[in-house]
Amino acid sequence: MIPIELLQGWHYLSLVATVTILGVLGQYYCRAWFFARKGDSSDESV
Amino acid sequence: MIDGARLFELSTLTAYLGLLMWIGIRAARQVKTSLDYTVAGRDVAWVVVLSTTAATMVGGGASIGSVADVYRTGITFALITCAWHIQLIVTGLWIAPRLRGLNLLTVAEFFGQKFGEGARQLAVLNCLIFLVGALVAQLVAMGTITQTVLDIPYPVAVLGGAAIVVYYSTVGGIRAVVKTDVLQFVILVGGIGAASAYLYAQNGGFVGMAENVDPAQFQLVNEHWSGIKIATMFAAFLLGEMLVPPYAVRCFIARDSRQARWGVAGGGIFLLCFLPVATCVLGLAAQSDPAVVAEIQSHQAGGAADAQVVFPTLMRRTFPPAIAGVMIAALIAAVMSSGDSCLSCISTIVMEDIYRATVDRQATDASLLRLGKYATLCVGGVAAVCACLFSDIVKILSFVYDFWAPTMVFPFLVGIFWYRRERVMASVVAMMSGFLAALSWRFGREYLLDYLVAQDVQIDPTLIEDFQPALFGLLVSIVAFVITLPLARKKTLGRWTEPLPATAREE
């Protein structure tokens, strides 16, 4: 039997990981957009 | 007549597909050289590498296929899929930085530089077998999902979806693929994550779900899963896709070795936290809702496969049309983001491994870029037509996944960690032995079993039936390497085993 507590903990970890990674990605693109608007393309990439 | 709910779903999907096309057109403006087209100018930040690696990893099999398998056989399957993500973590931490440092464009180039022309050609063949098989399989998956979800004819579903993927891959190359992958990653993770969190809460967590499903779903070993099957499938998942071109390219496109390491490993770490448990929740939630089970059974009675119906049915039954449209877009995103990576890798192989290496070594950058675009268009078109005409081809193509690990993985690791000139012959022998062993085991194990039964040999048949060809071939390739190594230290096959010089490029 696979312990249910393990699965529960894993589920909460997955939520934290999802919110974190989407936040980091959003912050990266906001910065890239900001630098692109200022005309400095050094921080903009794909 | 289209009802309001369907119109909502279709509008959401159309907006999503329109956004993909727009991103592709914008990315095309940044493509000035063949390096932009094949490795995005080697200027991709780690978080973008992470997103594109994760989006590429999660294809039709890892999303809808896994949910359907958990629904049918229990959560053991989700635990086995951890091997995919562990593989990415290992690749990222220890292999990606070294690969990025070599400034390569293709996997075959690595084999040429380490083991010579013979290994390079064998690598080109293996890459093409894997990529063409995976591309057609993803297009078929895209067609069957779209056909089931939107209730449109299969050829329209395949050709419509493929036209969008081929369009943005042709005009923007890997730059468009990476940019669209980021959008696909957000929709995929946001959609699957939100659905999983909502269903988890709605069903009272795992405790609530455990009360409503068959207790065998929570057992590691049950009627679907023997110990040997779990062990060999875990090993096959761990090694079966290690260093395949779509992942290797994610190492090549990063800004530097550090960004390659944390991009690829980060993708694996994130997926290990996220995907197995999300597929567990979705599979168990589908099984704990009698209305969903009844609808899935009615679809199955009409001849639909589990993978086609479990996830879409769960989404339709759980969410209102606009949100269900986003969730279904997430499924299509999963398949498209894996298919476009295969297409981009095939075009790079045509440009670099076939045209530049064997037809015209002095090819100009402009001619290579033109060739890459034509190659993407033609290969994508032919793959779409094949997926359209032969939808059963997926069953035949499933065997292509058996050949990568036996032929490529062990020599790849030798080339990276344990390379010496006197090990070249043994590595080439290991490649050939692994390929032939996987082929023989794939098609010959039934005859072996019949022979053993005829000879009255007492053996558990599952030991042979459940032993994965990829793993068998890999073991044979390691054994062949160990035996050949002391015998062939000073032997060569002339230019076939003479390591090739690195290709000179302006970077």
Divide the 46 residues of chain A into consecutive groups of 10 and give the mean pLDDT of each group: 90 96 95 82 50
pTM of the model: 0.92
Query: For residue B19, what are its two tokens?
Result: 């956004």
pLDDT along chain B (507 residues), means of 10: 72 87 91 94 96 93 88 92 96 96 94 93 94 90 80 88 94 94 92 92 93 89 86 88 94 96 97 96 92 86 73 84 78 88 96 92 92 95 90 64 90 94 92 94 88 84 81 94 89 79 69
Instruction: Quote the pLDDT of residue B400.
Output: 75
Query: For residue B54, what are its two tokens?
Result: 């994760």
Nearest CA in chain B to A27: B47
Which superfamily is assigned to B4-401 in CATH?
Sodium/glucose cotransporter (1.20.1730.10)
Q: What is the C-alpha end-to-end distance of chain A, expressed in Å?
A: 45
Interface of B with A (CB under 8 A): 27, 30, 40, 43-45, 47-48, 50-51, 75-76, 79, 175, 178-179, 182, 185-186, 189-190, 193, 196-197, 200, 205-207, 210, 218-220, 255, 270, 273-274, 276-278, 280-281
Residue B243 φ then ψ, to 5°: 65, 20
How would DSSP label each residue in chain A? ---HHHHHHHHHHHHHHHHHHHHHHHHHHHHHHHHHHTT-GGG---
CA distances from B237 to B84, B200, B262 (A): 6, 27, 22
A30: contact with B, CB 8 A cutoff? no
- Taking each helix axis as running N to C, give the angle between helix B117-150 and helix B107-115, from 0 to 180 degrees, rounded to the nearest 10: 160
B222 φψ region: left (φ > 0), alpha (ψ -120 to 50), beta (else): beta
Instruction: Quote the pLDDT of residue B306.
Output: 67
Instruction: Quote the pLDDT of residue B7.
Output: 80
Which residues in chain B have their CB less than 8 angstroms from residue A10's CB?
273, 276-277
A36: contact with B, CB 8 A cutoff? no
Q: How far is A32 from chain B (nearest CA, A)?
A: 11
Domain map of chain B by residue range?
A: 4-401
Instruction: Quote the pLDDT of residue B392.
Output: 67
CA distance B381 to B375: 10
CA distances from B408 to A30, B108, B397, B411, B460 (A): 40, 10, 18, 6, 30
Query: For residue B194, what are its two tokens?
Result: 């939100």
- Other beta carbons within 10 angstroms of residue B63's beta carbon come to 27
